Amino acid sequence: MRSARLSAPRRAGSPGPVLLVIAHGSRDPRHAATVHALTLRARALRPGLRVETAYLDFNAPSVPQVLSSLYSDGVREVVALPLLLTRAFHAKADIPAVLAEAGARLPGLSVRVAEVLGPSPLLLAALERRLAEAGVDLSPEARSSTGVVLASAGSTDPEAIAVIAEIAREWRLTGWCAVRPAFASAALPDVAAAVRELRAEGVRRIVVAPYVIAPGRLPDRIAAGAAEAGADVLADVLGAAPELARLLLTRCDEALAVEAAPALTA
């Protein structure tokens, strides 16, 4: 997603840019709790930056609610950051649409849309952190006999699937004997099938690394597939990993560094 500006730049004397983290939302309360913990960590890393959270569905506040509240506070410059790991439907359609609709009712509000989080070396670092926390030996010797299932939520978008496959290929170059992409929905193989394929290829130790941010229905499906196929280790979701918090700020800085960008609406 290219950074885009909805309207005029910040007026003199108005508050500085605000980072608005836009999460999908979930009926699972663990989701919002994880997003909250992540944004708290980002605030702690940069105390001078105001960081707010909004949700597309299931949770409050909504994107229009937060933008209206910021506007009432005098904010005229916002960086909207999709809390997404790939550019799929939510990044390409849902988020731009809701921002354009809300921004049209708030004259003078400038909204830059930041890139989605992935891919990034910081995400690979967060994945390895979660593996280490789960007891996985990350030494070169151990990697050479360990296979990893990189378990994504899944998407019907070919671009998103291709990105996951490329991340798996790049991660394999760090010494793992194999890194196999898998998906909780919408694409194949699923996690259980990926684990079984690695077993059939003679991989001695298999670990599952969820490439998802927060707990919920699809991460639970990843865990069920890992258990069903007998994976040796299941790591935790990325959650509020410090690398992820740093990545939020990196994407914010990148968006603000763009001097000119096309408007989302005419």
| 262 has a pLDDT exceeding 50 | no
Does residue 59 share a domain with residue 36? Answer: yes
Distance CA 258, CA 221 (A): 39
Task: Give ∠ CA 181-244-132 in degrees, rounded to 5.
Answer: 65
Does 266 map to a domain? no
Residue 253: φ, ψ to 5°: -60, -40
Does 263 map to a domain? no
Does residue 198 share a domain with residue 111? Answer: no
Residue 90: what pLDDT?
Answer: 79
Does residue 219 share a domain with residue 162? Answer: yes
| 59 has a pLDDT exceeding 90 | yes
| Per-residue model confidence as pLDDT tens digits over 97-119 | 999 999 999 999 999 999 999 99
Q: How many domains does the chain have?
A: 2
Does 222 map to a domain? yes
| 173 has a pLDDT exceeding 70 | yes
pTM, 2 dp? 0.91
Residue 109 and residue 64 in contact, taking contact as beta carbons nearer than 8 Å: no
Instruction: Give the Cβ contact number of residue 37 at 10 Å.
Output: 13
Number of helices (H), then strands (E), in the chain? 10, 8
Residue 32 domain boundaries: 18-117+242-257
Residue 259: what pLDDT?
Answer: 55
Tokens 């990148």 belong to: 254
Distance of CA 180 to the CA centre of its chain: 20
Task: Give ∠ CA 177-211-247 in degrees, rounded to 5.
Answer: 110
Does 126 map to a domain? no
Does 156 map to a domain? yes
Q: Which region, left, alpha or beta, applies to residue 256 given φ > 0 means left and ψ of -120 to 50 means alpha?
A: alpha
Does residue 101 share a domain with residue 28? Answer: yes
| Per-residue model confidence as pLDDT tens digits over 226-259 | 999 999 999 999 999 999 999 999 999 999 998 5
Does 127 map to a domain? no
Residue 160's domain is classified under what CATH number? Answer: 3.40.50.1400
